[in-house]
Amino acid sequence: MRESCDSNSACNDIERRRFLRLAGLGTGALLLANALPNQVLHAAEKTSTPPKPKNVIGPDEALKRLIEGNERYVSGNSETHDFKDEREALVSGQNPFVAVLSCADSRIAPEYAFDTARGDLFAIRVAGNFVTDEGLASLEYGVAVLGAPLILVLGHERCGAIEAGVKAVKDRTVFPGQIPKLTNALQPSIEQVLKQPGDLVANATVQNVKNSVERLKAATPLLTDALGNGKLKIVGGLYRLATGKVELIA
């Protein structure tokens, strides 16, 4: 049934309801949609005709595609991406098939690591790849508005932020500037594995990914709604520096 509107407020209500149908989400999305300014709703409307139809896939297919992209990257068979055509196709909007929370480390580069093109991967990066409030808000936007069916938290070997966190916890090292904000955020994951056998930095890296995944899985209402509706999967991975291989660990 075609809805029509004869006033601004009626139009806004119709747009919100249409957005919810597009998003296919529950009560959390309802809260979001009611609070969304019209510019965001218009952006959401634009994603109803996705610029990348092949990205309209479910969580399992998204994960399979991510792993296959990493295999191409590891073996040196990455696809050639036509940036010029991609730019033009994406003027109208975006519908990435994955959102990645990764470390800021310059050796990681998630778009390369999964052989993705522009418009495929929604990236949030912070040294130590832990969940900040702003990072969570970005991921909520990626899922509830842009429709990303998959979130990957990506840790990596020899992470400088984790190493600094270990120094802060074990040696009481105090870092200058705002760096303690990073080490403080990582401290709980490091303390959880202090008594574990093996390498403390490696163990803390894995624990930090697991804790970040758990925090995202508990993020109400938007991510929990999408998880409950089967529209989202949240996984954790570890990037191996020497090979580029990403191993799923959560």
Closer CB to Zn ion, residue 93 or residue 237? 237
CB 124, CB 101: distance < 8 Å? yes
Closer CB to Zn ion, residue 96 or residue 128? 128
Closer CB to Zn ion, residue 93 or residue 155? 155
Find the shortest distance in angstroms from Cβ 48 to Zn ion.
37
Question: Could you identify the residue written with the tokens 């991975």?
Answer: 237
- How does strand 121-125 pair with strand 98-102? parallel
Find the shortest distance in angstroms from Cβ 206 to Zn ion.
13
Find the shortest distance in angstroms from Cβ 167 to Zn ion.
14
3-state secondary structure 78-142: CCCCCHHHHHHHCCCCCCCCEEEEECCCCCCCHHHHCCCCCCCEEEEECCCCCCCHHHHHHHHHH
Find the shortest distance in angstroms from Cβ 114 to Zn ion.
17
Distances (CA, A) of 40 to 88, 123, 171: 21, 19, 47
Closer CB to Zn ion, residue 36 or residue 103? 103
Tokens of 163: 């190493």
CB 235, CB 213: distance < 8 Å? yes
Find the shortest distance in angstroms from Cβ 187 to Zn ion.
16
Tell me which residues touch Zn ion (CB under 5 A). 103, 105, 159, 161
CA 245/CA 240 separation, integer angstroms: 5
3-state secondary structure of 159: coil
Closer CB to Zn ion, residue 105 or residue 225? 105
